[in-house]
Structure 1
Amino acid sequence: MKVILFILLQISNPLERLQKLIDSVQNDTEIRNGVVAASIRSTQTGEYKLQYNAHKSVNSASVLKLVSTASALSVLGSNYRFQTFLEYDGVIVDSVLQGNIYIRGTGDPSLGSARIGASVDEVSNYFAQKIKGYGIKKIDGYILGDGSIFSDNTLADSWIWGDIGNYYGAGINGLNINENLYSVYFKQSKRVGDFAPITKIVPEIPNIKNINKVTVAERGSGDNVLLYSTPFSSTVLSEGTIPAGDNEFSVKGSIPDPPTFFAYQVQKWFNSLGGIIEKPTLSFQQYKTSEGYYPKQRNLIFTYDSPPLSSLVKDCNYHSINLYADAFLKSVGYNLSKDGSFDSAVKSQKQLWSQKGVDLQGFMIRDGSGLSPSGVLTANNLTDILYTMKTDAAFPEYYASIPIVGISGTVQNLAKGSKAAGNVRAKSGSISNTRAFSGYFTASNGEMMSFTYIVNRYADGADRKVRRYLEEMIKLMVEI
């Protein structure tokens, strides 16, 4: 790296220096079998300042969230709020509901998230109080979590088995709660190789069975646990290691059936408030397939609103939350096509940007978060979407949602003390053997530029080297 930087100092033109650096990165022995893709475009003139492998399809990792959040703001608007409806069917006689309670979601990924404010217990208690406050003291039917606005298949088909049981691989439902995650606490030991028993699960997931094979590794070794499970399953396989110590160590997993879990939570709080319901919690899927089921007229008790979309988009881009990005993708798809599946949502999003004039050759995504290893796009695809977003009515909120290099979000430690710090807005992306940055910066002449850098399929163990290279690219580009 030092030799490369010394050579670059001999070149006076900033753009030439950047191109030379990218050439050197592509020819690095640990990167040359992969692809370095780069694209920079003026948002004022539309001129491309730099294109390097810019038309090659590469994995995007989490920079794909810039597309999902842009699509959501453009289609739904900055002030859009997800709504969750508390409803009932049947009749209320002498404070007894002769029917069911329904909690019907519209895809809100933030419901019951401590990141937003109200915890899962606080939200569940609030819904239970609304039922009691409506004059219902006993329920003869069920409390049902209804997430049917989206497909029952909550996962993208191309997500891998090692991801889907973990918090970052949580499926997106029409009704979500606590960001669809829970924490498993393992008891640490000071001896390497010891078994690490589970001490608790928070929040408590009813009927879950954990086949635990987790052991203790060296102190400071970090979280190397994978949780294997599938949607609607009650069995989880835990494998891997936790670091040695004398406390508890927590690992996050994905709730297998969030709508049913939320219904269970509301029912628990309803009972604690003195309400009576004797029937066990039942999934909406089970209820729909039960004998004699038919859709019934529902009546509204109350509506729970999410924070505005502009706030959720900022959370998504600052904290790189997969669930939020996939919720945005599916919500855009449902809004445009009335189909809440991943496949339909992807098609709708492609149509959206094609109609806005973006060339989407090479754009073959599979989800909204970038978790899929088979989803690809080109550097120009992303840079052009960012360029096009500059003229959207929601651009101020979109721009504010992207972290500031050297200051905030996942890029707060990037390029500190350089001219790029405070000048570049960038979303980072990282999956196996892929690192990426994309966003906006102001060039030396005052022009705003959109940019994308992706290094794809580099050698195992080269993560830190690739990040340093990308950091140098970001430092150099602001001098253009």
Structure 2
Amino acid sequence: MNYKPNLLFALLLSVTAPTLLTAQTDLPTQLQKGYAKMANSDNMQYALIGFTVQDASGQTIYSNMGNTGLAPASCQKIVTAAAAFDQLGSNFRYSTNVSLSGTANGNIWKGDLLVQGSGDPTLASWRYKSVPDTAFFFQTLQALQQKGIQRISGHIIGSNMQFSTQPIPGGWIYDDIGNYYGAGSWALNYHENQFDASFSASGNVGDRLPLKRTTPASGYDEIDSYVTLGQPGTGDNSIIYASPYSPKAYISGTLGKTNQTFTISGAISDGETALLQALADYLQRNGIQIDGDVRPARLYAAKQWKIPAATQSLTSFQSLGLDSIAYWFLQKSINLYGEALLKTLAVNAGKPGDTDSGAEWIRNFWAGKGIDRNALRVKDGSGLSPQNRVTANSLVAVLQYAKKQPWFAAYYEGFPLIHNIKMKSGTIGGAKGYTGYISDKNGKEYCFALLVNNYSGNANTVVQQMWQLLDVITQYK
């Protein structure tokens, strides 16, 4: 069949035009389509979805409900980490100072050993290859040995109250605070204030599982197990119920049958006392006799006793730098680190070392950077509190601010690589979020925040929907 040239051109244009138009559709339009697809899904019928994308210049490429306050979960950690880098500096280190009160009598120290903490959340942590979890204990032992001390006639005392005696934020829920991710933060912390509880996950489904052991010591006088054996492959569906300073904890739920040891992790009841006791045990195992007991600083405050004055400095233990702490804070989403940093920021600003002072300070700090206080209603430093309300726009503003700072490389390094995107995730009941740095196929960089609250159904489905929306950016060319 023969066609005239102009007719042939018209036919070709009619065939190829839709493809050309699709290829040329701009990113904002594609994001709007992706957002609408997600928002119109059955599991999003009653959900709120805050989504903001800005390019490197700060121009908003797309925003929907960007100014709606939503529960950010652990996405809030990027706010705390950035403030810490800015105010404390990448090289900031916590100091734990050990001193003596009393006098020497030969190889006997007639007095007390004083341990003054500054809130180091990494003290006696197993997480750092370059610093063994016994490093603080060993350094203290060496300092005593160098002075020829073989016996301490008095007590091991926590000697300051830099942080409040209330170790957890008021907005945390009972289902969380007995578990490892709900551990409190003290001026002295031990093993990330976490213990492991082990069970033998064998037998018949429905059988009660007795607790085999806890490592290290939990601090509870009694732990009752109501855990039963679940179906194979169902994993950990247990909850540890306890609270700080409580003498008793109990565990309920199920652990999937494995015919092996099943280990779950809980929150130590009193991090300060645990640290002091671990130090006393270590010293005695290594030849230093301790005649007295361990006494946390809060005991002196409660009884209105006067803490003995130091007469001699012994040693000062330094943590790794903030860049190392912030890396694990963001990579592994360690709530303890966020709470310690929040209180540290308050103390650094001359405020009381408690959660409320830290939260108030951080809102004021970011207000000074142009983020409205009402867009950043933080109740803790980690995002675990369901009372937090943060907007997608405010998270993006934090990301944009960080990019311009000399500490940005260390900050960026901490962001996990999820779905091939450098972003921090957040999850609490009914809330899921991602925020971070993303690039399109041309290498153009963007900052984004995507928060979903009150979705229905399975969280894994929501994750796939969120990734699909973010893929609009990664696949754009």
**TM-score of the superposition, structure 2-length normalised?**
0.91
Contact 1:222–1:243 (Cα < 8 Å) also in 2: yes
Deviation per residue, 1:43-74 (Å, 9 max, x gap): 32x21111100010100011101011101101
Equivalent position SS for 1:337: coil
Task: Give the conservation status (yes or no) of the 8 Å contact 2:119–2:187.
Answer: yes
Q: 1:89-168 alignment to 2 at 5 Å?
A: 89-117=101-129, 118-121=131-134, 123-146=136-159, 148-168=161-181
* Cα drift, residue 282 of structure 1: 2.6
> 1:206 deviation in Å?
5.2
Q: Quick check: 1:63 aligned with 2:60?
A: no
Deviation for aligned residue 1:325: 1.6
1:473 matched to 2:469? The reply is: yes
d(CA) in 1 for partners of 2:433 and 2:344? Answer: 26
- Corresponding residue SS for 1:307: coil
* SS of match in other structure, 2:364: helix
Aligned length: 456
Q: CA deviation at 1:134?
A: 2.9
Contact 2:89–2:322 (8 Å) recurs in 1: yes
- In structure 2, do the counterparts of structure 1 residues 133 and 223 end up closer, same or farther at CA, with 3 Å as the change threshold? farther
Contact 1:60 1:375 (8 Å CA) reproduced: yes
Contact 1:213/1:240, CA 8 A, preserved across alignment: yes
| Cα displacement (A) at 1:443 | 4.2
Q: Which residues of 2 match residues 402-413 of structure 1 at below 5 A? A: 402-404=415-417, 411=418
Give the letter aligned to residue 389 of structure 1.
Answer: A
Where do 1:71-470 residues align within 5 Å? Answer: 71-117=83-129, 118-121=131-134, 123-146=136-159, 148-205=161-218, 208-290=221-303, 292-294=305-307, 296-404=309-417, 411=418, 414=419, 421=420, 424-443=421-440, 446-459=443-456, 461-470=457-466
- Name the amino acid aligned to 1:35: L
CA displacement at 1:204 relative to structure 2: 2.6
Distance in 2 separating the partners of 1:79 and 1:345: 21
Distance, in Å, in 1 between the alignment partners of 2:226 and 2:441 is 56
Q: Do the aligned residues in 1 keep the contact of 2:179 with 2:239 (CA within 8 Å)?
A: yes
Distance in 1 separating the partners of 2:223 and 2:24: 60
- Alpha-carbon spacing, 1:9–1:239, altered in 2? closer, same or farther (3 Å): farther
Which is worse superposed, 97-106 or 203-212?
Answer: 203-212
3-state SS of 2:361 partner: helix
2:133, 2:225 → 1: CA distance? Answer: 26
Amino acid at match of 1:86: V
Distance 2:23 2:45 in 1: 24
How far apart in 2 are the matches of 1:300 and 1:158? 39
Alignment RMSD: 2.1
CA contact (8 A) 2:107 2:149 kept: yes
Q: Secondary structure, in 3 states, of the residue corresponding to 1:15? A: helix
Alpha carbons of 1:400 and 1:239: their partners in 2 closer, same or farther (altered >3 Å)? same
**Partners in 2 of 1:350 and 1:294 — Cα distance?**
35
The Cα of 1:349 is off from its aligned counterpart by 0.8
- The whole-number CA distance in structure 1 between the counterparts of 2:307 and 2:332 is 42
Q: Describe the SS at the equivalent of 1:59.
A: coil
SS at the partner of 1:89? strand
| Alpha-carbon separation, structure 1, partners of 2:340 and 2:304 | 32
Structure 2: runs of 5+ lacking an equivalent: 1-20
Q: CA deviation at 1:446?
A: 4.8
1:220 corresponds to which letter in structure 2?
G
Answer whether contact 1:88 1:301 (CA < 8 A) is retained. yes
With normalisation by structure 1, the TM-score equals: 0.90
Bigger-Rg structure (1/2): 2
CA distance in 2, matches of 1:216, 1:347: 45
For residue 164 of structure 2, what is the amino acid of its counterpart? S
Tell me the equivalent position of 1:407. none
User: Is the contact made by 1:433 and 1:458 (CA closer than 8 Å) also made in structure 2?
Assistant: yes
Aligned residue type for 2:193: N
Q: By how many angstroms is 1:294 displaced?
A: 4.7
Cα distance in 2, alignment partners of residues 386 and 403 from structure 1: 15
Q: Give the superposition deviation at 1:208.
A: 2.6
CA contact (8 A) 1:71 1:329 kept: no
| Cross-structure match for 2:3 | none
Q: Secondary structure at the match of 2:377?
A: coil
Given candidates 32, 41, 61, the residue that maps to 2:45 is 32
Matches within 5 A, 1:18-29: 18-29=31-42
Q: Give 2:186's aligned amino acid.
A: N
CA contact (8 A) 1:214 1:239 kept: yes
Q: Is the CA contact 1:358–1:384 (under 8 Å) kept in the aligned structure 2?
A: yes
Unaligned runs of at least 5 residues, structure 1: 1-7, 405-410, 415-420
Q: 1:346 to 1:150 in 2, by over 3 A?
A: same
Q: Is the 8 A contact 2:439 2:446 kept in 1?
A: yes
Residue 418 of structure 1 is matched in structure 2 by: none
- Distance in 2 (alpha carbons) for counterparts of 1:205 and 1:430: 26
Q: Note if contact 2:439-2:473 (Cα within 8 Å) is conserved in structure 1.
A: no
